[in-house]
């Protein structure tokens, strides 16, 4: 599963590395760790992003950045 993350000028596929829940439904909240697929990108804590694939859309906020 490789959704696309849109954040400012960034638009790139990501790989979901882990989730704090097995699955998320509409209006659920959770913590998702993802990794950009093709090149590193510059994000800051607090950035808002949209993650989408097909009909799925999710709104998120950057909480932590691992290097």
- Tens of pLDDT, residue by residue, the chain (67 residues): 789 999 999 999 999 999 999 988 889 999 999 999 999 999 999 999 999 999 889 999 999 998 7
Q: What angle do CA 25, 49, 65 make, to 5 degrees?
A: 100
Say how many C-beta atoms besides its own lie within 10 A of residue 59's C-beta: 9
DSSP state of 38: S
Residue 1: predicted pLDDT: 75
pTM: 0.86
Rounded CA Rg of the chain: 11
């Amino acid at each position: 599963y490789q959704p696309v993350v849109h954040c400012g000028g960034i638009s790139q596929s990501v790989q979901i590395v882990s989730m704090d829940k097995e699955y998320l439904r509409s209006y659920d909240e959770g913590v998702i760790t993802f990794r950009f697929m093709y090149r590193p990108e510059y994000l800051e804590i607090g950035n808002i992003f949209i993650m989408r694939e097909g009909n799925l859309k999710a709104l998120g906020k950057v909480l932590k950045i691992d290097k």
